[in-house]
Structure formats: C-alpha cells, structure tokens
Amino acid sequence: MATMNTTSTWAYEVNQYFNKKALLTIDNNSILDKYGDFENMPMNNTRTMMFERYGNFPELGELTEGITPDGMTLSKSNITAYLRQYGGLTIVTDVMEKTLLKKTFPVMHDRLNEAGVRTRDILIRDTLYTSTLHYCADDTAGNKINTSYDGTTTANVNGGFTSDNTLAIFQDLFDAKAQQFTELIVGSNKVLSNPLGASYIAIVPTQAVTQLYKLDDFVKVEKYADPSKRLPFEIGYMNNIRFVVSHNFTSVGTGANGKPVYTAVIMGKHAYATLKLGGKGL
C-alpha cells in the first residue's frame, strides 16, 4: 500500500479550503415579455388559438328623414397563434450526484430557467423583426431613416440613432394610431428634472447606449422627475419614446461602413401577444 505522507497525494478538498458558493454568470436582460399582451390556452383545447382584429367604420353620413341609410360592413382579419415546445436537457450521473461536495443541481436548474426565459425573449424578438415595418439609419439622407429598407440587406445601413430618425418613427407610429403606453411621470420641483408623457417603447441593443447618451435631446433616467418609476432596464427618453436596453439584440450583419449592424424594436401598446398553456410551462 502506498504511504500517503505528503499533501501532494491527497485530493484538493483536503489540501485547501473549498468554497461551495457558485459564481453564477450575469443573466441576460429578459424584458420583451413585459411589453406585450398574453393569453392562456386552456389545456386539452388543441394547439391553435385564433384572434380577430376588427377594422374601423368610415365616418358617418348625414341622415335623411324617412330614408334608411345603407348598411355598413364590419371588416375583420384573423390572427392565428400556435403553441410550440422548447426545452433542453442536462445529464448528471449517479456518481456525480453521490460524490460532489457541493450541490450542483440548483445551479443547473437556475441556468435552465435562465436559458428558457432568454429563449422566449429571442423568439419574440425574431417574430417582431420579421413581421413589422423596417427602417434603416441612413446618414447619406441627412441623419434620416430609409423607409424602403427590406430588413435583410445590412450592407445598406450606414448610420445610427439620431433625434431626427427617432422623431420620424414616432410620427409614423402616431399617424398609424398606435396606442402609447400611458404611465406618466409627472413633473416635480427638482432642479433639471423632466416629466414624461405617454410614450412608445424602444428595445435597443447594449451597443446603442453610448450613442444615445451623446444626443442632446436624450434624457437619462437619472433626470426623470421620479426616477423610481423607470421601467426595467430603461436608460432614458427622447421624442416620446422610452428606451430600454437588452442583451438579446445581437449583430445581424455588417453595414456599409464596415461596422456591425444591430436591430432595435420601437412599438406601441398591444403590439404583440404571447400564448401560454394554462397552468404549464413558462
């Protein structure tokens, strides 16, 4: 039998203090589920739910006594949502379960939960990006936006956030009667503080933060009349748009200037909805 008379022949648990606290990675900002609607699908009711979106009637005409006006037709379009399953698996052997000094299973559980929330954010992001109107920043047009952008040809993108192009997007949303988020931050007697009116929400990548901070019209959350009412991960406000940052908006290609191109979403209230199986899943 070997003589274990030196510390070099012993396991590391015997030779040094072992800290059982796990150092968790920083969670990604999972925020997109906070600004949409959601519906519960009752169990055992198929995997498909249909919503109806109704159009507006035209302006009413003047009535003539004794004459019945022509009937108006209510128009509608159908929106279909599907339940889909996403998941992952991590395998642990019985030897690992019975011999580890620290409890790894809670950490694995937390990481799987985080991956699930992040996956949901990315699915919402991709759905919004493929189904909405696209703009690209175009410095050649005087810091404006290119409304003919197809959403895929990143080589045409050669600009970034400016006060002018965010104001143009605000105008388009406002003209389209997109509802604003109406939680207000009223004024106060604090010096250099700013009240906030009804606004649209912009979800932007982390790479946009320094760019926005350099704009004269951009109001940081620290300057809000009541900073405690900031939205989760909100960084500021400009042109009736509140800006929220997310790590899940990643580069989608290279622009005309050779720099990476990132996506962002600017939306009104009820812009999207998610479907959840009642009592199950996320």
Instruction: Profile the chain (282 residues) by mean pLDDT over runs of 10 residues.
Output: 52 57 61 82 82 85 89 86 83 72 73 85 86 74 63 76 88 90 61 71 92 92 84 91 91 83 88 77 52
Overall residue count recorded for the chain in this entry: 282
pLDDT the model gives residue 83? 85
pTM of the model: 0.78
Give the pLDDT of residue 16: 59
Q: Long-range contacts made by residues 150-159, C-beta under 8 angstroms, separation at least 24? A: 154/252, 154/253, 154/254, 154/255, 154/261, 155/253, 155/254, 155/255, 155/256, 156/255, 156/256, 157/255, 157/256, 157/261, 158/255, 158/256, 158/257
Angle at alpha carbon of residue 271, lines to 269 and 272, rounded to 5°: 125
pLDDT at position 168, please? 87
User: What pLDDT is recorded for position 236?
Assistant: 93
* Both tokens assigned to 276: 């959840």
> Of all residues in the chain, what percent are helix, strand and coil, respectively (each to 5)?
25, 25, 50
| pLDDT at residue 191 in the model | 45
Query: CA-CA distances (angstroms) from residue 168 to 125, 158, 181, 213?
Result: 22, 17, 18, 19
For residue 74, the one-letter residue type is: L
| C-alpha dihedral (231, 234, 235, 237), degrees to nearest 10 | -60
Task: Report the C-alpha gap between 237 and 202 in whole angstroms.
Answer: 9
Q: Which element (helix H / strand E) includes 226?
A: none
Domain ranges of the chain: 29-53+73-282
Residue 22: the pLDDT is 59
Are 261 and 154 in contact by the 8 Å Cβ rule? The answer is yes
Ramachandran quadrant class, 130 (left: phi over 0; alpha: psi -120 to 50; beta: rest):
alpha
Cross-strand pairs, 238: 241
Could you tell me whether strands 241-246 and 200-205 are parallel, antiparallel, or unpaired per DSSP bridges? parallel
Can you give the pLDDT at residue 184? 63
Could you give the 3-state DSSP secondary structure of residue 254?
strand
